[in-house]
């Protein structure tokens, strides 16, 4: 009886894998001409961020480190900005975010790395100071974050050349990714939107395009798309059955863009395009879903006729 149940379970698992494979293949066929358009959207948006032709949303982890040029200063600034709230959460606005960024810049000074080595953050966790706020964040939270970064290195101060060295060492010892190491180190730091912010941090420090500052050398296969609020709806617009093939990360990989982070930029680019051409975007999404649901195959010229022009 047990053997029969086991064989039945194995058969169900095989059927499930076949079903997922069929759904994925259907999506790939129906979005054949849509996915290259999304890659172009991501590329154009990233170029627009660099040239200033698009109004970039304020992402503190990209803004605060950009005030500095030294790699180690940028590292400390990027980690400090993990605590700054993002737009759209907790009622924060872009203006509030910028005020927080500037307040943190004042706290870190002209050389955040020197501020870190002097352990100036320790005073933030002492006496009445710990319950005061810097940029809307309780001082003890800032002190705890920096203290964890401090305690994790095993080298004398003179040899401690940067946080990346520590993370590289830990990832090699534990045979895991930078993301896993940071999750292990910072899980008790009271960081809101924890996994989203860690992914954005790696994007900013580990890439040289878009928001990226190219501070670290991280293989692209270690970078994951930041799962921002609203991204799920964007996926569902183009891949209605995405949740039937696995996790949201599996669905993002299914789009086949050059890197997972490009999906994040494609989403931001589409939001920018919606501001400029709302009717065109709405008509495209509606027609795409109709073709998708009906299983219609259209020639490239038909696709080009409905795809909104990317004007940035």
210 and 265 in contact (C-beta within 8 Å)? yes
What pLDDT sits at residue 94? Answer: 78
108 and 77 in contact (C-beta within 8 Å)? yes
Average pLDDT score over residue span 163-191: 85
Q: Range with the lowest mean pLDDT among 13-22, 29-38, 206-215, 295-304?
A: 13-22
Average pLDDT, the chain: 89
Q: Is residue 36's pLDDT more than 80?
A: yes
Structure tokens, 211: 């928001």
28 and 247 in contact (C-beta within 8 Å)? no
Band the pLDDT of 218: cuts 50, 70, 90. confident
What pLDDT sits at residue 157? Answer: 46
**Cα–Cα distance between 14 and 10 in angstroms, integer?**
6
Average pLDDT score over residue span 57-81: 94
Q: Is residue 153's pLDDT more than 80?
A: no
Q: Is residue 252's pLDDT more than 90?
A: yes
Q: Is residue 3's pLDDT more than 80?
A: no
21 and 249 in contact (C-beta within 8 Å)? no
**Cα–Cα distance between 168 and 221 in angstroms, integer?**
15
Tens-digit pLDDT profile for residues 93-134: 778 889 999 999 999 999 999 999 999 999 999 999 999 999
Tens-digit pLDDT profile for residues 185-198: 899 888 989 999 99
Q: Is residue 225's pLDDT more than 90?
A: yes
Helix 178-186 vs helix 194-206: angle between axes, to the nearest 10 degrees?
130
Band the pLDDT of 85: cuts 50, 70, 90. confident
What pLDDT sits at residue 2? Answer: 59
What pLDDT sits at residue 173? Answer: 78
């Amino acid at each position: 009886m047990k053997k029969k149940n086991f064989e039945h379970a194995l058969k169900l698992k095989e059927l499930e894998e076949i079903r997922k494979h069929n759904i994925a293949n259907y999506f790939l066929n129906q979005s054949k001409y849509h996915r290259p358009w999304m890659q172009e959207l991501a590329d154009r948006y990233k170029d627009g961020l660099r040239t200033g032709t698009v109004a970039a949303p304020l992402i503190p982890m990209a803004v605060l480190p950009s005030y500095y040029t030294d790699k180690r200063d940028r590292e400390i600034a990027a980690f400090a900005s993990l605590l700054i709230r993002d737009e759209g959460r907790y009622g924060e606005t872009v203006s509030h975010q910028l005020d927080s960024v500037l307040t943190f810049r004042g706290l870190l000074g002209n050389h955040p790395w020197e501020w870190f080595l002097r352990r100036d953050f320790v005073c933030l966790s002492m006496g009445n100071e710990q319950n005061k706020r810097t940029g809307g964040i309780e001082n003890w939270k800032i002190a705890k974050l920096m203290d964890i970064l401090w305690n994790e290195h095993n080298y004398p101060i003179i040899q401690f050349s940067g946080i990346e060295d520590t993370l590289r060492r830990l990832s090699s010892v534990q045979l895991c990714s930078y993301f896993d190491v940071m999750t292990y180190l910072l899980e008790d730091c009271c960081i809101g939107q924890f996994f989203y912010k860690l992914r954005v941090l790696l994007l900013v420090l580990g890439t040289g395009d878009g928001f990226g500052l190219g501070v670290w050398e991280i293989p692209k296969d270690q970078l994951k798309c930041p799962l921002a609020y609203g991204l799920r709806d964007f996926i569902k617009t183009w891949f209605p059955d995405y949740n039937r093939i696995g996790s949201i990360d599996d669905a993002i990989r299914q789009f086949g863009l050059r890197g997972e982070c490009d999906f994040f930029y494609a989403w931001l680019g589409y939001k920018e395009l919606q501001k400029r051409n709302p009717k065109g975007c709405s008509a495209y999404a509606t027609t795409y879903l109709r073709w998708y649901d009906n299983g219609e195959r259209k020639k490239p010229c038909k696709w080009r006729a409905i795809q909104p022009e990317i004007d940035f």
